[in-house]
Chain A
């Protein structure tokens, strides 16, 4: 590392969620983007994480069992 302030890859992967959540302060955001701009490996890591979020978004939720739905509707009618 040439700059004492620069992030290592190992540090960057721990900041990825804060980055995606817009939760990095301005100094950390600059360090993050400076590193990312020069590091294809970390760009690949971020790409994998975005792919992970995309796949997760296609999962289907657990359905309400019909007998539970019936029980709840019966209680609602009372």
Chain B
């Protein structure tokens, strides 16, 4: 078992409420975002998170530490969410996590580039990005725009950007927790960041975008 997990698991097994409270608070947002890949409704996703923790508590004695505690909990969440989705008659799109790159999705609108048959600069910027006003970057209104853009993403892209860029997980942690290949993790992150960048540019430099 990973050394950091050893203390946590020992504390949980000993019934330490504060350790449990800290974990459920710290991981709640991430658990919710991942659950919503399979069950979009927030109330149902919250039920899935609750059921996940009950399963975790029930299985804690048997946790052997072959993966990190975090990975183990998120794997239980994904299984719980898939089961719930099936029970509700939702078909999980095959491509939800395993094949995100099947349909191409350009990072930037193609019309912002010169055409491929341009005689001198094919594929170069026709409408280039401009400097964004640094002083407005972290304003509450800008952050609200970004939060809305993330909410509007497909659930798999939303989950990956939330884990990586909001929660600060590293790529390996996301791959393990969601059972994603490195390539698929990057495809989802790339698409998510590209769309959020579009929203940021549209808000802060509307004349360019």
**Size category of the binding interface on chain A:** 35 or more
Residues of A whose CB lies within 8 Å of any CB of B are 1, 8-11, 13-14, 16-18, 21, 23, 41-42, 44-45, 47-49, 51-59, 61-65, 68-69, 71-73, 75-77
Which of B63-71, B72-80, B88-96, B135-143 is the interface stretch?
A: B135-143
Contact B167 A61 (CB under 8 A): yes
Contact B189 A17 (CB under 8 A): yes
Chain A residues, Cβ within 8 Å of B189:
17, 21
Chain A residues, Cβ within 8 Å of B146:
52, 55-56, 59
Contact A41 B193 (CB under 8 A): no
Docked Cα-Cα span, A18 to B128, in Å, equals 21
Contact A64 B24 (CB under 8 A): yes
Query: From DSSP, what is the main secondary structure of chain A's interface residues?
Result: helix
Contact B193 A53 (CB under 8 A): yes
Residues of B whose CB lies within 8 Å of any CB of A are 15, 17, 20-21, 24-25, 28-30, 32, 46, 49-50, 53-54, 57, 106-108, 110, 113, 122-125, 128-132, 134, 137-138, 142-143, 146-147, 150, 161-162, 165-168, 171, 182, 186, 189-190, 193-194, 196-197, 200-201
What 10 A-B pairs come out closest when comparing CB atoms? A8-B123, A61-B29, A17-B190, A41-B128, A10-B123, A64-B28, A56-B165, A62-B29, A52-B197, A10-B113
| Smallest Cβ-Cβ distance to A76: which chain B residue | B20
Task: Give the residue of A49, A61, A76 whose beta carbon is less than 8 angstroms from that of B166.
Answer: A61
